[in-house]
Structure 1
């Protein structure tokens, strides 16, 4: 195999297996190449990953060591993407009753969702995460996007139990915005006890739904390793029940009468 062909094949494999530890002998046997050649190829790939701002290769020493591709997004690319996203959401035509915004088209666009997933994966790259969890339904595409870059499974919390999911654990919680009692359920087999969980959601106002997920996770003795939301609403009248979270966008003001929306970068860029 020519070096150019080997570089393409190795790059493809690494991109398809983020956070997966790959030993040097694996590539030497797969491509019938010398260790020195594969090592040089790794250096070339790592330099290009960093120049493109999409991640880097981490070397793990020892007998069971190797390299793993850690996806990331450069600060410049991240800021450009989030600013573009804010501009799209500031379209007055997106205003819905109650001060909400129509975001389904963005959450249905694979390219946009993938970039959002990469941003959250960048932020939580050094955090030990076993599973990404979200509540049905709009947060599902975001959860899968984040999980694909972290290389972990997705667990979906539902409002009603499904017969195909077996026995479940359910809790009642108070919605932060409507102050209504609601229910969420999670199958007993979906989450291991003591798992490190990353909560992902598309929108947060007071944080009642996320707080409900945190309460549900306590039933599994799971640890909340982080919380990521695409957009948070700034509402001085509502007391936020969730404090430790990361947001890409902050919706500061929605004026239905004046048809105006003010959106700024979230706290993602403040850390």
Structure 2
């Protein structure tokens, strides 16, 4: 096999298996090449990944070692994408009663969701995440996109129990925006105790839902190593319940009378 053919094959395999440790003998046997040639090829791939701002390769020495692809979307690429997303969200036609924005079309667009997932995965790449957690329903596409890049399972917290999920753990929590008592449940079989997780959601106002998920995950003794929200609402009148999180978009001002929306980059890009 020519080097150009090996590079294509190796790049494709690494992109399809992020965060997975791959031994050099595997590539050597599969591609019928010497380990020295494989090492040189991996250096070329790593240089290109970093130059293009899509991640890096980490080499682990020893008998049980190998190479692992760590996806990382560069801050520059992420910032350009979010800036274009902010402009799309400032369309007055997206205004909904109560000051909310219509975002379902964006959450249904594969390319948009894929890029959002890459940004979250880049933010949590070094956090040793084992599961991505979200609550039904609108955060599900983003959670799956993030989990796909991190190469970990998705777990969905539900508002009511399903007979197909067996025994569940449930808690009551106070919604941050409506101040209503609500319930969320999670199957006992879905999450091993002591797991490292990150929470992904599409929108946060006061943070009541995310705080409820944290309380529910505490019942499983899970370690919440990261919290990511696509959009947060800036509301000086409401106290934020959750403080340790990253947001990609911040909705600063919604004027229903003037039919105007102001959307800026979130706190992920500030600091």
The TM-score normalised by the length of structure 2 is 0.99
1:190 CA drift (Å): 0.3
Distance 2:125 2:89 in 1: 27
1:158 and 1:216 map into 2 onto residues whose CA distance is 11
Aligned to 1:65: 65
TM-fit CA distance, 1:52: 1.2
1:56 counterpart = 2:34: no
Q: Which runs of 5+ in 1 are unaligned?
A: none
Helix, strand or coil at the partner of 1:171:
strand
Q: Does 1:253 find its partner at 2:253?
A: yes
* Other-structure match for 2:115: 115
Q: Secondary structure at the match of 1:190?
A: coil
User: 1:141-190 CA distances to partner (integer Å, 9 max, x unpaired)?
Assistant: 00000001111100000001111111110111000000001000000000
User: RMSD between aligned alpha carbons?
Assistant: 0.7
Task: State the partner residue of 1:94.
Answer: 94
**2:103 aligns to what?**
103
Alignment of 1:2-151 (within 5 A): 2-151=2-151
Deviations 1:115-159, CA, capped at 9 Å, x for gaps: 000001111111111100000000000000000111110000000
Match of 2:185 in 1: 185
Distance 2:219 2:157 in 1: 13
Q: Which runs of 4+ in 1 moved over 3 A?
A: none
| Distance in 2 between residues matched to 1:233 and 1:270, nearest whole Å | 16
What's the CA shift for 1:112? 0.4
Offset, 1:5? 1.2
State the Cα deviation string for residues 49-90 of structure 1 (Å, max 9, x = none): 111111111111122111111111112111100100000000
Q: 223-232 or 58-67, which moves further after superposition?
A: 58-67
Deviation at 1:270, TM superposition (A): 2.1
> With structure 1 as the length reference, what TM-score do the two structures score?
0.99
Counterpart in the other structure of 2:209 = 209
SS at match of 2:189: helix
Deviation at 1:204, TM superposition (A): 0.1
Aligned length: 271
Q: 1:269 is matched with which residue?
A: 269
Aligned twin of 2:200: 200
Which blocks of at least 5 consecutive residues in structure 2 are unaligned?
Answer: none
User: What secondary structure does 1:18 align onto?
Assistant: coil
1:189 aligned counterpart, secondary structure: coil
